[in-house]
Every structure is written in C-alpha cells, then in structure tokens.
C-alpha cells in the first residue's frame, strides 16, 4: 500500500574518508517506485552553473573534502526518481569547485547496519592523508546507527570505491538515545589527548543535543557523559557542524585547531524550523564543551543563520590547498512534488562559499568562492549613477537569466529615514509587510531580477534604512511575492537585518542569478538570502535585470558590475 508520511530528516554525517552517505530534511515517500521517472524536455529552471545531477532527487551535501588536489562532493541522492527515497551517496569530483565530473555511487545499502538507507555524514582526513567517512545507516529495526567507510584504493585520487569495515556499526543508540533521532555525524577533530571527537545530532523530547563521542582509533567509539552542547525547546538537531575560526584572520583553520586566537562555530540544522542556525563561542578543552559567547540557546528569536532563505543541511570543510573553510548548502524546490516528478529532478547545491569570522567577532561572513569568476564574460560597468526616487533602470548587455551582479549604493544623508518601530523585531515579517511595492523614504532600493519586460514578474532584492532611537537599522529583503504568474508555488518573502553602517560603509549587494535561483549577499557577505523562483514569462532570453528605487529619497549607485555567466562543465 502506497502512502505518504511527512517527516523531515536531516543527516549530516562525518566522512571518515572511505565513502558515506548523508541526508537532511525531506519529505519521505514510501513506495517511491510508483512515481514515474519523467524528464521533461522543456527545462527553463535547470541551472547553468550550480551543481546538480542530470536527473532525480538530491538533498544534503555530504563529506566534502580535498584529496590529492581533487575536490570531492558526496550528496544524498535517489537513483530512481525525483522525490525522496532509496537514498544513496552520490559522488562527483572537481579541480576547481565549479566544473564537475560525476562518478558511480560511492555508498549504497549493502550491510545490515545500512540496509534500509545510507543517510548523511561527514568526511575526515586521518593521519597519512587517509580519508574516512562516518555516515548514518538505517538498520533492519529501522534504528539510526553510525557506520564507517574507507577508500578501497588510496592511490586512486578520485576515490571511486569505498569499503565498509566489519566492525560496523561503530555507534549505536544505546543508554537512552532516541533510535529515531540519532544521525548525521560531524567531521571529527582531535583533542589535546590525541583522541578523536565527533558529534551526532539528536533530541530527547524537544531538547536538541549534539551527542559527543571519543575514539583512539576511529573505529571504537565511546559516548561522553555529557553532550558537546544542548538547548531546550529546539527539536531535532540535524547535520551538526563544529569547526574553529580565526579571530585575527580570514584564513581557514583545520578542524582540530584550537588556541587563544580561535573561536568555534557550532551549526545545527533545526528540523522544526528547516533552517540552519549557528552560534559563536569557545571550546572548553577540559570539559569538552562548547560555550556560546552570548549564552544563546538556538531559540531566543535572534539566532544567527547562514542564510535567511532556502538553504539547509549545510556542511563545511577545510580546504587545505587554499587555506580556507568552504561552506556548502542544499537548496530545495519551491514548486509541487508533482511538478518535480514531471520535470524529472529536484534539488540543487548552492555555490560553495568561503567562510570566516567577521572582525567584530559577532558573526561569520560568507562570500562565493573566487573560482566562479572564471565563468564571467561580457562585463558591464556603471559608476556614479543617480537613482532617483521612483525610478527603474534596466541593466542592458548582460544575460539576465544567468548572471553575477555586484552593486553598491551610497546614501548622502540618513536624516529622512523612517522611524523604526521597536516591535519590528522579525525581519522576515517586516519584509513581508513592507515589500518592494510599499514606498518608503530610504528604500526600498535594489535589484529586480528574473523580471519580465513589463515587470509582471519580478524578484526584488532590496534594502530599507530605518532610524531607531540609538542607531540606524538596515533591512535586507528578498521579495518573491511577484516572482511568477504560476500558482501552487512557495513565494515567501525573506528578510534579515544587516549589521553595517550605511553612511560609512555604503550598502553593497551581490546576486548570483541562475534561471530559478537567486543567491544574494548583502554587506559583503554579512547577510545571505537564497530564493527559488519559477517565472512563466521571464525565462531564457525573455529575462530582464533592473535597478530600482521605490523610496522618496534619491540614492546613488557608486558602482555596478555585472557579468553574464558561462555554463559550468558538468559531466554526468
């Protein structure tokens, strides 16, 4: 009997280095074979330079690593259809994180401890340059257990074959662990005592937990008496990620680094909210505990997020070749399941982002990896352009359906900024109430992307500046309310407060546009919003790009640079 169960599962397991599979929140469909594997010939929403396979469902990025100069990305994949199910670890490699070659499936059900599914996990590079993967498997009792996989042949730089040691599973849900909430091992790190540590996402009732395990040999793991961190009323913690960041530099750090000039980031994908939240704090080596700087608990209403739009089950890794920390995230669809079945695919990975600690120490900063700039062509360059109140200017000469746009606005004065109501604490709600069509004083101004010629369809990414009692507040919005004439679509408007000084720094906005994806970076990466949109008019050559100002005050475009983006080379 076929039936549907709505359940969000996020598995972000650590990769021990031999091939593991991970998965995150998703709609679970039983008897998926009943769905027809249809691939539509008309595909206006497939991306040109974002990572996606030729067909079928994908979700969480798993176990990204660099090995012998080759980047590896594993990800949750359904080989048989465009809805979640039959999950395995698919595998692709790259020399530049832009152009990819797909390989055979790396990890699939083959032993008792993963016979009902190979879910999310992470990779760790062990001494001697040996990759290892830890991933969540579903055993015959449908318990979530943790497995180890290692490369069959270390001389193969493409790591095309993975084996599973006979000691699997290496971690099981005993001693009060919820067997249905025990998943997504993180990348492992080594403590000062020489032992490896790893965290597993879990919950007891509504208390989310990062269960801590230790091991001397990466095979025999012992549960610590206390979690690395926990928070009440947060629900299931999926895809945990724990890594160091430098206080003094933008250079990335290996996952085992610690010291006085280091902070740590703990990220959780909250199943109940379907967003990725993080905290900045210190790692208490003696107690083996994470201590948030602000004593936060992931549920205080002002929690930090990597991305305030569609971005989930993210995973970082240390790129030892470039000395940087790279962040991946899964972008899911905003259309219906039946549409996904008809088009034959679902899910895309976000552009890899370089991540570091902001100089204030209050948040992380993200920026698209520099390698995507090799796809730039046909540059457009504006300088010192007045954007008068109520004006809309088209940016011509760029392929608007597949572009990279970077614009900076200067404000001469903030005297006429609107007053900020103290009750406006929720930026997403504020963006919904004050969308791009709602006139203000300093704003809304920004970009209209994936727009039709007559603006019947448009996705607006914009700023508003408010004047509270003490300092100015900058609101960044991504308004999808008029993104498509189509029905049965998620057209949520997203928002974030941006920690910048609009007079001293100006307001910068960079948007990566790719047919049905808009990844936007405000304030040089201090706030990020990813949107998924499906225009009916504004597709292919009928897409237009505009800058606009719907405020009553003039603003100045100090610079605008835009490029058409070449298609990434992805070999299936």
Q: What is the band of 299 on the pLDDT scale with cuts at 50, 70, 90? A: low
Task: Write out the two tokens for 529.
Answer: 């919003």
Contact 139, 164 (CB under 8 A): no
Q: Are 189 and 134 contacting, i.e. CB atoms less than 8 angstroms apart?
A: no
Measured CA to CA in angstroms, residue 264 lies from 25, 230, 244, 257 at distances of: 25, 15, 4, 10
The whole-angstrom separation of Cα 96 and Cα 165 is 31
Span 389-411, pLDDT tens digits: 999 999 999 999 999 999 999 99
Residue 128 is classified by DSSP as T
Residue 6 reports pLDDT greater than 90: no
Asked if residue 335 lies in contact with residue 83, where contact means CB atoms within 8 angstroms, the answer is no
**pTM for the whole structure:** 0.93
Distance CA 138, CA 145 (A): 6
Give burial (CB, 10 Å; 0-12/13-18/19+) of 181: buried
Q: In the structure, what pLDDT confidence band is assigned to residue 180 with cuts at 50, 70 and 90?
A: very high
- Tens-digit pLDDT profile for residues 226-246: 999 999 999 999 999 999 999
Q: How far is CA 121 from CA 128, 133, 166, 238, in A?
A: 21, 7, 19, 10
Q: Quick one: pLDDT at residue 30?
A: 36
Active site residues: 60
Paired strand residues for 560: 382, 407
Phi, psi of 340 (to 5 degrees): -60, -40
Q: Return contacts of 67-70, CB within 8 angstroms, 24+ apart.
A: 67/125, 67/129, 67/131, 67/157, 67/159, 68/129, 68/157, 69/95, 69/157, 69/321, 70/94, 70/95, 70/157, 70/158
Q: pLDDT tens digit string along 549-564?
A: 999 999 999 999 999 9
Q: Which residues pair with 236 in a beta bridge?
A: none
How many CB atoms within 10 Å of residue 433? 12
Mean pLDDT, rounded, for 70-81: 98
**Could you give phi then psi for residue 255, rounded to 5 degrees?**
-60, -25
| pLDDT band of 303, cuts 50, 70, 90 | confident
Cα-only R_g, the chain: 23
pLDDT band at residue 300, thresholds of 50, 70 and 90?
A: low
pLDDT tens, position by position, 273-288:
899 999 999 999 999 9
Q: Tokens representing 34?
A: 């009943």
Give the separation between CA 344 and CA 78, rounded to whole angstroms: 11
pLDDT for residue 11? 36
* Average pLDDT, integer, range 374-392: 96
Backbone angles phi, psi at 229, to 5 degrees: -165, 155
Instruction: Decide the pairing of beta strands 275-284 and 304-305.
Output: antiparallel
DSSP string across 73-140? EEEEE-TT-SSS-S-EEEEEEESSSSSEEE-S-SB-S-SGGGTT-EEEEEEEEETTTEEEEEEEEE-T
Q: What is the pLDDT of residues 412-431, one digit of tens each?
A: 889 899 999 988 999 999 99
| CA angle at 345 for the pair 123 and 351, rounded to the nearest 5° | 50
Question: CB of 52 within 8 A of CB of 59?
Answer: no
Looking only at Cα atoms, what is the longest distance across the chain?
70
d(CA 529, CA 522): 8
Query: What pLDDT shows up at residue 458?
Result: 98
Q: What is the mean pLDDT of the chain?
A: 91
CA–CA gap between residue 13 and residue 199 (Å, rounded) = 9
Q: CB under 8 Å to 253, separation ≥6 — which residues? A: 243, 244, 245, 246, 262, 318, 325
Looking at the chain, the whole-number percentage of residues with pLDDT higher than 90 is: 86
Joined tokens for residue 29: 């469909």
The answer to whether 85 touches 27, Cβ cutoff 8 Å, is no
- DSSP state letter for 350: P
> Is residue 468 scored above 90 in pLDDT?
no
DSSP letters for 533-572: ---SSS-GGG-EEEEEE-BSS-EEEEEEEEEEEPPP-EE-
Which residues pair with residue 403 across a beta bridge? 513, 564
Does 358 score more than 60 pLDDT?
Answer: yes
pLDDT of residue 413: 86
Closest by CA to 475, choosing from 488, 465, 485, 489, is 465
pLDDT over 70, % of the chain: 92
Res 32 pLDDT > 50: no
Secondary structure string (H, E, C) spanning 312-325? EEEEEEEECCCCEE
CA 319 centroid distance within chain = 17
- pLDDT score recorded for residue 470: 77
Written as six digits, the tokens of 483 are 């993104």
pLDDT at position 294, please?
76
* Contact of 465 with 488, CB cutoff 8 Å: no
- Answer whether residue 34 shows pLDDT above 60: no
What is d(CA 246, CA 256) in angstroms, rounded to the nearest whole number?
13
Q: Summarize the confidence of residues 16-45 as an average pLDDT.
A: 46
Q: Which two tokens stand for residue 353?
A: 């982002």
Closest C-alpha to 512, from 539, 532, 537, 541:
532
Domains of the chain: 10-368 (2.115.10.20), 370-571 (2.60.120.560)
Q: Is the pLDDT of residue 193 over 90?
A: yes
How far apart, in whole angstroms, are the C-alpha atoms of residue 491 and residue 426? 18
> What pLDDT band is residue 158 in, cutting at 50, 70 and 90?
very high
| pLDDT score of 3 more than 60 | no
Average pLDDT over residues 114-128: 97
| For range 302-310, the mean pLDDT | 91
Phi first, then psi: give them for residue 465, nearest 5 degrees.
-115, 130
Residue 433, helix vs strand vs coil: helix
């Amino acid at each position: 009997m076929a039936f549907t169960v709505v359940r969000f599962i996020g598995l972000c397991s650590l990769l021990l280095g031999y091939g593991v599979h991970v998965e995150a929140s998703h709609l679970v469909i039983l008897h998926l074979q009943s769905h027809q594997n249809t691939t539509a010939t008309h595909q206006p929403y497939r991306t040109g330079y974002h990572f996606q396979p030729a067909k079928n469902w994908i979700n969480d990025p798993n176990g990204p690593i660099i090995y012998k100069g080759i980047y590896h990305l594993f990800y949750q994949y359904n080989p048989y259809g465009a809805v979640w199910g039959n999950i395995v670890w698919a595998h692709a490699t790259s020399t530049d994180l832009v152009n990819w070659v797909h390989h055979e499936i790396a990890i699939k059900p083959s032993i008792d401890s993963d016979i009902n599914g190979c879910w999310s996990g992470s990779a760790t590079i062990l001494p001697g340059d040996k990759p290892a993967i830890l991933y969540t498997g579903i055993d015959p009792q449908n318990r979530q257990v943790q497995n180890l996989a290692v490369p069959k042949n270390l001389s193969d730089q493409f790591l095309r074959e993975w084996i599973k040691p006979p000691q699997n599973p290496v971690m099981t849900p005993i001693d009060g662990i919820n067997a249905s909430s025990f998943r997504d091992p993180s990348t492992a790190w080594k403590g000062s005592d020489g032992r490896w540590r790893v965290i597993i996402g879990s919950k007891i009732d509504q208390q989310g937990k990062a269960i801590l395990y230790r091991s001397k040999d990466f095979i025999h793991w012992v549960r610590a008496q206390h979690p690395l961190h926990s928070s009440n009323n947060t629900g299931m913690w999926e895809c945990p990620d724990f890594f160091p960041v430098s206080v003094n530099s933008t250079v990335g750090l290996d996952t085992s680094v610690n010291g006085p000039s280091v902070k740590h980031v703990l990220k959780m994908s909250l199943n109940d909210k379907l967003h990725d939240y993080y905290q900045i704090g210190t790692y208490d080596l003696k107690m083996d505990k994470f201590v948030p700087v602000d004593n936060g608990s992931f549920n205080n209403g002002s929690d930090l997020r990597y991305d305030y739009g569609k971005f989930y089950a993210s995973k970082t890794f240390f790129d030892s070749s470039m000395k940087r920390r790279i962040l991946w995230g899964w972008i899911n669809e905003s259309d219906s399941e039946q549409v996904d079945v008809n088009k034959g695919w679902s899910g895309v990975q976000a552009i890899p982002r370089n991540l570091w600690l902001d100089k204030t120490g209050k948040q992380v900063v993200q920026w698209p990896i520099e390698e995507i700039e090799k796809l730039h062509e046909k540059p457009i360059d504006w300088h010192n352009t007045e954007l008068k109140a109520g004006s809309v200017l088209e940016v011509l000469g760029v392929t608007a359906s597949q572009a990279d746009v970077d614009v900076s606005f200067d404000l001469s004065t903030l005297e006429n900024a609107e007053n900020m109501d103290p009750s406006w604490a929720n930026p997403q709600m504020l963006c919904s109430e004050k969308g791009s069509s709602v006139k203000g004083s300093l704003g809304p101004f920004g970009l209209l992307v994936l727009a039709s010629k007559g603006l019947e369809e448009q996705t607006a990414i914009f700023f508003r500046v408010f004047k509270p009692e003490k300092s100015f507040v900058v609101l960044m919005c991504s308004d999808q309310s008029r993104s498509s004439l189509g029905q049965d679509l998620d057209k949520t408007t997203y928002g974030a407060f941006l920690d910048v000084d609009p007079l001293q720094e100006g307001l910068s906005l960079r948007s990566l546009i790719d047919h049905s994806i808009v990844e936007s970076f405000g304030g040089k990466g201090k706030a990020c919003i990813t949107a998924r949109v499906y225009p009916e008019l504004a597709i292919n050559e009928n897409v237009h790009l505009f800058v606009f100002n719907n405020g009553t005050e003039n603003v100045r475009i100090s610079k605008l640079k835009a490029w058409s983006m070449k298609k990434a080379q992805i070999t299936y």
